[in-house]
Structure 1
Amino acid sequence: MTDSDATRDKLQGKLKETAGKLTGDKDAEAEGRQQNAEGQLKDQVEDAKAGLKAAGERVKDALG
């Protein structure tokens, strides 16, 4: 999983959601919201991983 995966999901989700709103397609709108949320979740997971890695490095340096 990369930042580009998350960005792509968020962008595609917003496009689907907007298209659904414009066409009155509630299913497409909901699918777009879900895909956007998945992209946001991917971003949060990557941020958490980076934070844990940095914390681990600080502990390693403190013990080291």
Structure 2
Amino acid sequence: MNKDQVKGRVKKAKGKVKKVTGKLVGSKGMEEQGKADETAGAVQAAFGDVKNKQKKGHQPQL
């Protein structure tokens, strides 16, 4: 596991918490920000997954 995988998964989890908190308190802005953080975390984790596979010698399939 590389740092992009870890940071991405942490960011995704924080985004989920922020999204749920925003929904509970009725803050549309916080909810949207949480969704954005969750998506950004998923993208960063996926990037880390690709880096990890490439480092191990796997070629990406198109």
TM-score of the aligned structures, taking structure 1 as reference length: 0.74
Letter of the 2:12 counterpart: K
Q: Give percent identity, aligned residues only.
A: 27
What does residue 46 of structure 1 align with? Answer: 48
What does residue 12 of structure 1 align with? Answer: 14
Shift in alpha-carbon separation, 1:4–1:53, aligned structure 2, 3 A: closer
Higher Cα radius of gyration: 1
What does residue 28 of structure 2 align with? Answer: 26
Q: Which structure would you say has the larger RCO, counting Cα contacts within 8 Å and 6 or more residues apart?
A: 2
Aligned length in residues: 56
Higher fraction of helix: 1
Q: Secondary structure at the match of 1:55?
A: coil
Offset of residue 6 of structure 1? 1.5
CA RMSD of aligned residues (A): 1.7
CA distance in 1, matches of 2:49, 2:9: 14
CA contact (8 A) 2:6 2:45 kept: no
TM-score of the aligned structures, taking structure 2 as reference length: 0.76
Listed as ranges, the gaps of 5+ residues in structure 2 are none
